[in-house]
Structure 1
Amino acid sequence: MDEQTALALKSFTTRYCDEWQEKNNSWPMSEELYGVPSPCIISTVNDAVYWQPQPFEGEQNINAVERAFDIVIQPALHAFYTTQFAGDMPAQFANETLTLLQTWSEDDFRRVQENLIGHMVTQKRLKLSPTLFIATLDNELDVISVCNLSGEVIKETLGTRNRTVLASSLADFLTQLKPLL
């Protein structure tokens, strides 16, 4: 596993949880994840859950994606998706407001791999180089992804060749992220 990426993700998650704690005197809360089972859930109140990141359980890789395309996925992406279970976290990178995607449970991890495969099927059909998404943006056509060829973090418009490099590596990107509450 890519230790730099795992450490950068844990560090960002700690910053996010610490800021949430400072502002709300609680662990992060999510209404979107209410009713969805997860080892992260600390408590359920009304229509929301309070959550705390938990160590990832299971095989620490996204080999299902590799097998689907007979390619090798960047080690940083294996680390990103298998370091922890956590809720999605709003963040700021330079002038981009985004939601950093996380796996919430083992079931969610399987779903994420299926979505990554679907994303790459579309790219292959359009003859685009492979990317794997890590965050969403307000504009649903744009996502933050990691280029599987270079390891760079990019902003891309889905289904097009529009790509802008944001960081040279996933660890560098995560280190520069600022929590948004």
Structure 2
Amino acid sequence: MPESNSSSFTQFVGKQQAIWRQSGFPSMQLVDEQSGACIEQRLSADTARWNYVKRTPADFSDIETALETKLHSSIKDFYGLFYGGHWTGYFRSLSVQLVGVWDNDDFDIFAKNMISHILMQRRLKQKDSVFVASTNDDMVVVSIDNESGELILERLGQGRLKLLAPNLDQFLQQLKA
């Protein structure tokens, strides 16, 4: 597998944080007065401004054991280096919302969803991929191809629609708020 993209994701986070310090941190709806290290400012019982927070790198070994495969380093970097909310922006003209893992409990939920998603792909004889962003179409997501590390647009249940970027680094470089 190609080398890790952790520095590019860390650079992306740093760039966003610099912008947010000037313009204000993004807000997000909370569930059941949710708390977490990502909260910069609570606006109400169910809304808060959030920021990315560096975390102890996540352990993906249980997920890899359950799936009997190694996860691409880009997937581990995207989900395992920071806690954060859902970042909204554009990849070229495509509106995207990057999926964020809020805290350890949210990571556990994410892990179960990822395992279910990949097992469903295997039943449908599709290549393993892990979604990293939603789009305006609930059935179309941006995913990382687990084998190649390519960022692809895919329709849930049907598979790959097109290549967006050859790797996470190039995808992140093209994102705009």
TM-score clears 0.5: yes
Give the secondary structure class of the aligned counterpart of 2:159.
coil
Contact 2:152/2:160 (<8 A) preserved: no
AA of the residue aligned to 1:96? L
Q: Relative to structure 1, is the Cα distance of residues 95 and 34 closer, same or farther in structure 2, using a 3 angstrom cutoff?
A: farther
1:73 corresponds to: 71
The question of 1:15 aligning with 2:18 is answered no
Higher relative contact order (CA 8 A, sep 6+): 1
- 1:169 Cα deviation from its structure 2 partner: 0.6
Aligned equivalents of 1:61 and 1:79: distance in 2? 11
Inter-CA distance 61–164: structure 2 relative to 1 (3 Å threshold): farther
User: 3-state DSSP class of the match of 2:97?
Assistant: strand
- Per the TM alignment, residue 123 of structure 1 is displaced from its structure 2 partner at its CA by 0.3
Letter of the 1:16 partner, please give it: Q
1:98–1:135: 8 Å Cα contact kept in structure 2?
Answer: yes
- Contact 1:34 1:44 (C-alpha < 8 Å) held by counterparts: no
Percentage identity across paired residues of the two chains: 26
Q: CA deviation at 1:100?
A: 0.6
Could you say which residue in structure 1 is the equivalent of 2:165? Answer: 167
Q: How does 1:17-56 map to 2 (within 5 A)?
A: 17-23=17-23, 26-32=24-30, 35-46=33-44, 47-56=46-55
Give the drift of 1:60: 2.7
Match of 1:122 among 110, 120, 140: 120
Tell me the matched-pair count: 175
Output the CA distance in 1 between the equivalents of 2:87 and 2:31: 12
Deviation, 1:34, is 7.1
Q: Does 1:113 align with 2:121?
A: no
Give the Cα separation in 1 of the matches to 2:61 and 2:137.
Answer: 30
Secondary structure of the structure 2 residue equivalent to 1:110: helix
Q: Deviations over 1:14-73 (max 9, x none)?
A: 3333334433xx32222246722211112212241122221113x533223211111111
* Secondary structure, counterpart of 2:64 in structure 1: helix
TM norm structure 1: 0.87
Q: Answer whether contact 1:62 1:81 (CA < 8 A) is retained.
A: no
After TM superposition, the structure 1 = structure 2 runs for residues 87-166 of structure 1, keeping only pairs within 5 Å, are 87-166=85-164
Deviations 1:105-156 (A, max 9, x none): 0101111111101111110110111001111111011000011111100000
**How far apart are 1:4 and its partner, in Å?**
5.2
5+ long unaligned stretches in structure 1: none
